[in-house]
Amino acid sequence: MRGAQTIVLTGGGSGGHITPILAVADELKKQKPDTRVIYIGQTGDGLGDIPRLHPSIDEVYTVRAGKFRRYHSKGILQVFDIPTLLKNIRDAFYVIIGFLQSWFLLRRLKPSVVFVRGGYVGVPVGLAAARHKIPYLTHDSDAIPSLANRIISKKAAAHAVALPKENYQYPQDKTFAVGIPLNDAYQPVTPKLEHEYRDGLHIREDSKVICITGGGLGAERLNDAMKTIVPKLMEKYHQLVVIHIAGRKHEAKVHEFYKQNLSQSQLEHLLIRGFVNDLYRYSAASDLIVARAGATNLAEFAMQRKACIIVPNPLLAAGHQIKNAKSLAEQGAIRVVEEGDKLSDELFTTIVELLDSTEKRMRLAEEFGKFAKPNATEDVVGLIVQTANKRGSKQSVKG
């Protein structure tokens, strides 16, 4: 870049949106320490304090954003759901308010480029950037682009995507397959590294370890299923250590359940967390991971080459988690357990099968690792810098 520039990063609503933004911020600061990195989040975001506390983010602002509620499992019936309809109408006004807030904010900040990671806040910020003729990039992690990114796609300078660009209906000359930006701490886990992380978490070397995570906000149905399974697993494996990352909203409830249903000695083999910034420590220390099919988590665990059991959320719009998981399962990279009436039974059976077979876990880990993209963060930042420099060059010519 030529001199210090301001770059805006926006997105949020889930850990899967925020953690890639933080990785991008870190890489921007690494490449150009004098860059002014600003984060614009959504007012009321439950994880909004995470970027505010991150050392690579210089300033944080929030604007209003609206959520268009649609659920994969309900189909056409959701059109007639009055509470959902009223919330969608209310949130349409939030988008208008957010656009006005974003318009005044971007006029004052004068960024060289805006990076829209995804999430509903990207709509008002992206529309305001277009109005100011500020170039912006979108990023999609899933095979199906997010609704927010589709809304603002027409005037985007470029589209960064996680999968081969032929999967997307964006203009191909403006679409770049880069993967998902990840924290540098996500790397292939060697026996030495696994030992170091276990030691840091005070986990014995000979313990079997499973890590359960439903993403930054948690997954209540996955939590409920695992709560019924964990006591049985601990009865079967006396040295089993369970790491349960329950989500901020659910941490207290999960903790209370285990307190009431596990013995004191079993509780000593249990780690409960809400949201963690250092998930890589817990996942690296584990033999087996049970998780949702969020694209960011999948990319993180692929980079670490970890055996995973994935329970896709069937309710999310367009069924993107189901598609994420199905593609990987067909290639032998993960095991999938579908959510349903027998979720607990099927999860228990699959967990036992994999805990009992080092060979099966290693085979899954090897195949999963083939999907890792170690240069994703650098490639995304390169695209951001290139877009910012193009704008700077045009402005110099005009001057």
User: Does 168 score more than 80 pLDDT?
Assistant: yes
How many other C-beta atoms can be found within 10 angstroms of the C-beta atom of residue 211?
26
Query: What Å distances lie between residue 316 and 9, 352, 377, CA to CA?
Result: 24, 28, 26
> pTM for this one?
0.89
Who has greater pLDDT, 45 or 80? 45
The pLDDT mean for the chain works out to 91
pLDDT at 79: 53
User: What would the CATH number be for the domain defined by 191-369?
Assistant: 3.40.50.2000
CA-CA distance, 306 to 289, in Å (whole number)?
Answer: 7
> Using one digit for the tens of pLDDT, what is the confidence trace for 109-147?
999 999 999 889 999 999 999 999 999 999 999 878 888
Q: What percent of the chain has pLDDT over 70?
A: 92
Q: What is the pLDDT of residue 215?
A: 78
40 phi-psi bin (left φ>0, alpha ψ -120 to 50, beta other)? beta
CATH topology of domain 6-179+374-398: Rossmann fold (3.40.50)
Percentage of the chain beyond pLDDT 90 is 77
Phi, psi (rounded to 5 degrees) for 204: -65, 145
**pLDDT of 153 higher than 70:** yes
Q: Among residues 116, 163, 165, which one has the least CA distance to residue 142?
A: 163
Residues whose CB is less than 8 angstroms from the CB of residue 42 and which lie 6 or more positions away in sequence, other chains included: 12, 13, 48, 62, 63, 64, 65, 98, 119, 120, 121
Question: Looking at residue 318, what is its pLDDT?
Answer: 67
Question: Given this chain, do its domains 6-179+374-398 and 191-369 carry the same CATH topology?
Answer: yes
* Of 394, 378, 387, 377, residue with least CA distance to 7: 387
Q: Where are the domains of the chain?
A: 6-179+374-398, 191-369
Give the single-character DSSP code of 33. Answer: T
Question: Measured over all CA atoms, what is the biggest interatomic distance in the chain, rounded to whole angstroms?
Answer: 73
What pLDDT score does 317 carry? Answer: 64
State how far Cα 383 lies from the chain centre.
20
pLDDT > 70? residue 397: no
Look at residue 128 in the predicted model and tell me its pLDDT.
Answer: 98
- pLDDT higher than 90, residue 78: no
Task: Read off the pLDDT of residues 226-265 as tens digits, 9 standing for 90 and up.
Answer: 999 999 999 999 999 999 999 989 999 999 999 999 999 9
Q: H-helix or E-strand containing 235?
A: helix 220-236
Q: Are strands 288-291 and 209-213 parallel, antiparallel or unpaired?
A: parallel
